[in-house]
Amino acid sequence: MADVPPNKLSAVAAAREIAAGRLTCEALARACLDRIEAREADVAAFSALDADSVIAKARHLDRQSSRGRLHGLPIGIKDVLDTADLPTQMGSSIYRGNQSRADSAIVAMSRAAGGLIFGKTVTCEFAGMAPRGTRNPHDLARTPGGSSSGSAAAVADFMLPLAFGTQTGGSILRPASFCGIIGYKPTYGTFSRQGLKFAAESLDTIGLFARDVEDIALFADALLGHSSLPATKLAKPRIGLCRTYLWDTKAESETRMAVEEAARRAEAAGALVSVFDLPPGFEDLSIAREVINDVERSRSLAWEWMEHRADISPQLTRSVAAGLKTPEETYIRHLRRAEELRAHFGHATASFDGLIAPAVNGEAPRGLDYAGDPALQALWTLLHVPTLALPAARGPNGMPVAIQVVGRRDEDRKMLALALWLRDEAGIQLPAVMKLSSNQRTAPQASMERGGV
């Protein structure tokens, strides 16, 4: 580990080094801050960061015995989750400088486990589709995805080992794929959402970013109080190859190749792989997700719509307006349809340990005004099942492309075990390596104020 800069250690390795006394919390924090200083002007991952406070907290942790599995590990907090010591501005001028009195539940639990809350990471406006200037660290001219833009970019750029995101459609899986890291959206409701600004209440799920599957398991373990991986590894997993009903219209060549090659490698490594087609009627998921999303966003933003409508982006305005026009009976019908499909999916996939599916359309799009298409992630979000983005290939421009590992509801441990098997036995996970040097620039510098949006 001596040859690896502390900020490039995995979370598991950093935790081990801190526990052994070979690495201090302060040294790890300073390495992360040095990386942020070198790259933040280009990547623009943070909406609020107080370096002096970070060092003071790291020194305090160094004076204590271990507080838990996250002791001293830097963590980024998506700026829709309340923090008592940093502003929660939600990517909106409406909330500039907004300071909550208390931490959200998930932040408080992270601190209790010894996590070093580093800063607030940039989110698209209200966790929606209007980006706020973060760049993809692999290519500064491309989007990092959204809405958890800053969290994914910070972890991918070795600014932090761990970060929180949220997903309403595809806001964890998509930026994880575009940035070449692991994104984990657990079963709906796994982590408490107290202190989260809702986008769509029946969809919003708090999830995790890291650079390795084992780091995700460590992070989840610390928050849930139990092991996120089974005691024994999968020996010969049963995997369904699920191209989904969007394969012909959404999946670009690099995504198709990534999914097919992952299935081929898994089979060659000993997995029992068979094609699994979503049953007829599952195409309703895409329409239902849009209706539910729009209606629930119009309700969660009722005050902002009434008092600050002019400060809401065109993208979000369209969603809220559509939700306000939707009859209640239409909304209820789609909620019921979603529940029917959730139950059906559980029965239909009972013979599998998990599925391999496309995660994104393809490489991260060029430009910073569009965070990417959520369709290939959103159908699983509505099903409330656990999913994970596993970087598996590179597209024609050298950008990372992930596959999506899908589990059954409440079977997150089995899904994580399958992802680990795909990494270790099938050799699917790409290493977290940056294409750009620390000072290479391909796009103009973003304007970003510390503590601002």
Catalytic position from the list 171, 228, 313, 319: 171
Q: Which of 10, 47, 57, 78 is catalytic?
A: 78
Give, in degrees to the nearest 5, the angle at Cα 183 between 179 and 188. 145
Clarify whether 93 is annotated catalytic: no
Specify the 3-state DSSP secondary structure of 311: helix
Select which of 92, 104, 147, 148 is catalytic: 147
Annotation marks residue 286 as catalytic: no
Half-sphere exposure of 52 (CA within 13 A, CB side): 1
| 261 and 392 Cβ atoms separated by less than 8 Å | yes
- Which letter does DSSP use for residue 385 in this model? -
* DSSP reduced 3-state for 47: strand
Is 78 one of the annotated active-site residues of the chain?
Answer: yes
Query: Which among 240, 236, 230 is positioned nearest to 262, based on CA atoms?
Result: 240
Distances from the Cα of 72 to the Cα of 23, 135, 151, 213, 225, angstroms: 10, 27, 18, 19, 18
3-state secondary structure 263-307: HHHHHHCCCEEEECCCCCCCCHHHHHHHHHHHHHHHHHCHHHHHH
d(C-alpha 20, C-alpha 12), whole Å: 12
Q: In what order do the strands lie in the sheet with 116-121?
A: 46-49, 116-121, 74-78, 162-167, 205-210, 182-185, 387-394, 400-406, 354-358, 238-241, 272-275
Q: How far apart are CA 216 and CA 430, in angstroms?
A: 16
Cβ count near 174 (within 10 Å): 34
The residues assigned a catalytic role are 78, 147, 171
